[in-house]
């Protein structure tokens, strides 16, 4: 049987694959790779074993991770870019009952490919080139859990993702019809709590979610922290749709995350350059993101929620971080050579 698998980048439609899942009592991950991308896939698997919240889900018996990738041949899977006329947007054609059965048995099945510089995310089967660091696969996997990008889309991208109503994700909210200012602070807070998914949680943590304007009006928005890293959950101005909806676009984390580019408002950077920067970030997922992923996995499969330890939330790691592979360092150094305007903010400490 020949099956064509189409995956759209950044189509963070939340969870997928549950209906095809063989054992609903566990979140099963299958990792697929061709021979040329096996090393990168192995790095990803090693990291996931120790990265919070996946390490905690493993401990709780709610997650199944392989020890190594399943290697596919060029007869079984062919991945190409150019989907929808976008060079880096990937699709994989699968013509193997073995591979199809594996994917059908899994909740999540990332596909690594040695075809360079292509990728796609947001589905049961994110696709990632081995020319990117393993963190790119984590980025795409996080999309699968219902997260949007924390970086700003270009004007062209906003036409695809930021028009036609509100964009609502675990870590992003944009709404063209929301007012930029409110006459009272109470009205701003009420709108925040009604519309922005994590606003109430931020207030519960003691974070201010409004700012007072000089003219006496109020806006939704948490003042940015003075330095990074700073993990405090807030309702920070900016995010995926800030080019299209500057006055009504928010994200829960100000400092760099796996889902975003470090500096708010800088020019667009190609994805491989953003991911090179992310290599230097020791904590990929803010505490709020970690717990949301754990909660989402449990909710999807109707399993008990796993409460992460404070240590996991603080460090982002449930056990020792895997040592950084030399080839990853070399690839990252090569990418960092051409970072252009993709600079870390001066107050960032990574
Ligand atoms: Zn993304």
Which residues sit with Cβ closer than 5 angstroms to ligand 1, an ion? 149
Task: Look at residue 80 and tell me whether its pLDDT is greater than 80.
Answer: yes
- Sorting pLDDT into bands at 50, 70 and 90, what band is 102? very high
User: Mean pLDDT across the chain, nearest whole number?
Assistant: 83
- Sorting pLDDT into bands at 50, 70 and 90, what band is 163? confident
Are residues 341 and 277 in contact, defined by beta-carbon separation less than 8 angstroms? no
Q: Determine the distance separating the centroid of ligand 1 and the alpha carbon of 14, expressed in angstroms.
A: 13
What pLDDT score was predicted for residue 266? 41
Q: Determine the distance separating the centroid of ligand 1 and the alpha carbon of 40, expressed in angstroms.
A: 18
Q: Which two tokens stand for residue 6?
A: 């189409």
Q: Determine the distance separating the centroid of ligand 1 and the alpha carbon of 222, expressed in angstroms.
A: 24
What pLDDT score was predicted for residue 13? 31
Cα–Cα distance, 174 to 242 (Å, whole number): 8
Q: Determine the distance separating the centroid of ligand 1 and the alpha carbon of 22, expressed in angstroms.
A: 28
DSSP character string of 226-274:
SSSS------EE--TTTTT-GGGEEES--S--TTS-SSTTPPP--HHHH
Q: Determine the distance separating the centroid of ligand 1 and the alpha carbon of 289, expressed in angstroms.
A: 15
What pLDDT score was predicted for residue 275? 61
Q: Determine the distance separating the centroid of ligand 1 and the alpha carbon of 330, expressed in angstroms.
A: 23
Task: Look at residue 282 and tell me whether its pLDDT is greater than 70.
Answer: yes
Question: Residue 209: what are its φ and ψ, rounded to 5°?
Answer: -120, 10
What pLDDT score was predicted for residue 73? 98
Q: Determine the distance separating the centroid of ligand 1 and the alpha carbon of 155, expressed in angstroms.
A: 16
Q: Determine the distance separating the centroid of ligand 1 and the alpha carbon of 7, expressed in angstroms.
A: 13
What pLDDT score was predicted for residue 211? 95
The SS3 of residue 32 is strand
Sign of CA dihedral 278, 279, 280, 284: positive
What pLDDT score was predicted for residue 2? 30
Cα–Cα distance, 249 to 185 (Å, whole number): 18
Q: Determine the distance separating the centroid of ligand 1 and the alpha carbon of 153, expressed in angstroms.
A: 10
Task: Look at residue 326 and tell me whether its pLDDT is greater than 80.
Answer: no
Are residues 252 and 216 in contact, defined by beta-carbon separation less than 8 angstroms? no
Are residues 14 and 143 in contact, defined by beta-carbon separation less than 8 angstroms? no
Are residues 48 and 324 in contact, defined by beta-carbon separation less than 8 angstroms? no
* Structure-model confidence comparison of residues 327 and 30, the more confident one: 30
Task: Look at residue 331 and tell me whether its pLDDT is greater than 60.
Answer: no
What pLDDT score was predicted for residue 322? 65
- Sorting pLDDT into bands at 50, 70 and 90, what band is 229? confident
Report field, pTM of the whole predicted structure over 0.75: yes
Sign of CA dihedral 61, 65, 67, 73: positive
- Sorting pLDDT into bands at 50, 70 and 90, what band is 278? low
Cα–Cα distance, 142 to 86 (Å, whole number): 22
Q: Of 57-71, 238-252, 288-302, 312-326, which range is least confident?
A: 312-326
**322, 268, 345, 347: which is closest to 135 by C-alpha?**
322
What pLDDT score was predicted for residue 117? 86
Indicate the domain borders of the chain.
3-148+276-336, 155-251
Q: Of 131-135, 180-184, 295-299, 303-307, which range is least confident?
A: 131-135
Q: Determine the distance separating the centroid of ligand 1 and the alpha carbon of 317, expressed in angstroms.
A: 22
Q: Determine the distance separating the centroid of ligand 1 and the alpha carbon of 316, expressed in angstroms.
A: 20
Q: Determine the distance separating the centroid of ligand 1 and the alpha carbon of 148, expressed in angstroms.
A: 7
Q: Determine the distance separating the centroid of ligand 1 and the alpha carbon of 132, expressed in angstroms.
A: 13
The fraction of the chain above a pLDDT of 70, given in percent, is: 79
Q: Determine the distance separating the centroid of ligand 1 and the alpha carbon of 190, expressed in angstroms.
A: 30
Task: Look at residue 53 and tell me whether its pLDDT is greater than 70.
Answer: yes
- Sorting pLDDT into bands at 50, 70 and 90, what band is 7? very low
Q: Determine the distance separating the centroid of ligand 1 and the alpha carbon of 259, expressed in angstroms.
A: 6
Torsion of CA 308, 314, 318, 321, to 10 degrees: 160
Q: What is the mean pLDDT of residues 284-293?
A: 95
Q: What is the DSSP letter of 127?
A: E
Cα–Cα distance, 214 to 329 (Å, whole number): 48
What pLDDT score was predicted for residue 15? 33
Task: Look at residue 317 and tell me whether its pLDDT is greater than 60.
Answer: yes
Q: Determine the distance separating the centroid of ligand 1 and the alpha carbon of 327, expressed in angstroms.
A: 23
Q: Which two tokens stand for residue 327?
A: 């080839």
Q: Determine the distance separating the centroid of ligand 1 and the alpha carbon of 183, expressed in angstroms.
A: 36
Q: Determine the distance separating the centroid of ligand 1 and the alpha carbon of 274, expressed in angstroms.
A: 10
What pLDDT score was predicted for residue 347? 43
Q: Determine the distance separating the centroid of ligand 1 and the alpha carbon of 321, expressed in angstroms.
A: 23
Q: Determine the distance separating the centroid of ligand 1 and the alpha carbon of 139, expressed in angstroms.
A: 6
Q: What is the mean pLDDT of residues 17-37?
A: 78
**Quick count: other Cβ atoms within 10 Å of Cβ 179?**
15
């Amino acid at each position: 049987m020949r099956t064509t698998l189409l995956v759209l980048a950044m189509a963070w439609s939340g969870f997928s694959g549950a209906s095809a899942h063989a054992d609903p009592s566990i979140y099963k991950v299958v990792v697929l790779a061709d021979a040329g991308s096996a090393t990168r896939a192995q790095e990803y698997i090693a990291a996931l074993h120790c990265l919070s919240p996946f390490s905690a889900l493993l401990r709780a018996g709610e997650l199944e991770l392989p020890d190594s990738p399943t290697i596919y041949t060029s007869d079984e899977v062919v991945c190409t870019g150019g989907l929808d006329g976008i060079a880096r947007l990937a699709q994989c054609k699968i013509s193997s009952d073995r591979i199809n059965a594996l994917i059908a048995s899994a909740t999540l099945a990332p596909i690594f490919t040695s075809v360079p510089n292509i990728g796609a995310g947001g589905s049961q089967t994110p696709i990632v080139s081995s020319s990117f660091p393993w963190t790119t696969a984590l980025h795409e996997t996080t999309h699968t859990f219902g997260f949007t990008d924390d970086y700003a889309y270009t004007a062209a991208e906003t036409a695809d993702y930021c028009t036609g109503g509100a964009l609502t994700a675990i870590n992003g909210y944009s709404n063209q019809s929301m007012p930029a200012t409110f006459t009272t602070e109470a009205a701003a807070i009420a709108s925040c709590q009604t519309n922005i998914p994590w606003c109430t949680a931020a207030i519960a943590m003691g974070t201010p979610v409004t700012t007072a304007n000089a003219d006496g009006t109020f806006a939704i928005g948490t003042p940015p922290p003075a330095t990074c890293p700073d993990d405090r959950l807030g309702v920070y101005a900016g995010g995926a749709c800030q080019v299209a909806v500057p006055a009504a676009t928010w994200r829960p984390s100000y400092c760099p995350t796996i889902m975003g580019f470090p500096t708010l408002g800088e020019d667009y950077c190609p994805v491989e350059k953003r991911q090179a920067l992310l290599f230097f970030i020791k904590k990929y997922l803010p505490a709020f993101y970690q717990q949301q992923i754990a909660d989402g996995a449990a909710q999807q499969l109707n399993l008990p929620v796993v409460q992460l330890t404070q240590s996991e939330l603080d460090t982002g790691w449930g056990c020792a971080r895997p040592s950084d592979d030399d080839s990853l360092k070399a690839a990252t150094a090569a990418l960092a050579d051409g970072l252009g305007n993709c600079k870390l903010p001066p107050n960032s400490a990574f």
